[in-house]
Amino acid sequence: MLGIDEPEAFWEAVQTNLAAERFRLIFVSDVIGPELRKIIEFLNGQMTRTEVLAIEVKQYTDHAGEHQTIVPRVIGDTQAAKATKLPQGPRFDREQLLALLEKASMESAQAATALLDWAVGDPRLEVTYGRQPAADVRVVGWRIVLRVWGDGTLEVTLHTLKRLDPPWDSERIEDLVQRVEAIDDVRFISPKRNWPRIQLAPLADPRKLEQFVVIIDDVLSDLSPAPQSSLAAQSGDDQAGVPKATGTA
């Protein structure tokens, strides 16, 4: 599907694009009138992160009505629209991410530094970077379990746990959420469904960070070793060749 074979990789790509505010809106019809065409071309020329396109699908049949030909035509993909789109930027690295976190707060940068050091030092984990301002902490060769964002938040990817075989049920997920929120000053600030986030700053306290790491370590014990059937699952923005953190550099 869309060049992604694994369902988990597809949904991780969806999450990556949503987080980066990258969208593609497509209108499909057998007739795209001139008014709608003008609207589509205007929107696609104004929006830098979102593509707005239309596909006009014409159907033709022979005189006997025995054969049908479908001819699609893309509308809205003009040179002016292409010129407005943001170019693909370079990949972030650890140094750039921490510099961005320092702008959020020194506590966030300190917590991220300690958390990434822990992840790099754990043989079960690897840290990867993409074009979005984040560091992905994942089980080696497998799925993301944590994502450190440059805005000073830490994402706990409950979606990964729900996609296991067998999956974590809602009761087990809720128990994990409650354990995390039992840490002083730590609360989820986004819906507790698939990719909830907490503020990084409280984890600058070594005691609170240790409590959080113990919880994640328990999760990792359940995940390791990674299921072989899912080793190929990668997000659309984090495929093979993504730089990986080594040591603490």
Provide DSSP, 49-61. SEEEEEEEEEEEE
What rounded mean pLDDT belongs to the chain? 80
Which one, of 37, 56, 33, lies nearest residue 45 by Cα?
Answer: 37
Give me the CATH number covering residue 220.
Answer: 3.90.1150
Residue 111 lies inside a defined structural domain of this protein: yes
Q: Does one domain contain both 52 and 169?
A: no
Q: Does one domain contain both 167 and 203?
A: yes
Residue 67 lies inside a defined structural domain of this protein: yes
Number of domains present in the structure of the chain = 2
Q: Which domain holds residue 185?
A: 94-230
Lowest mean pLDDT among 8-17, 40-49, 190-199: 8-17
pLDDT at 87 over 60: no
Residue 242 lies inside a defined structural domain of this protein: no
**pLDDT confidence tier of residue 5, bands split at 50, 70 and 90:** low
Residues whose CB is less than 8 angstroms from the CB of residue 30 and which lie 6 or more positions away in sequence, other chains included: 56, 57, 58, 59
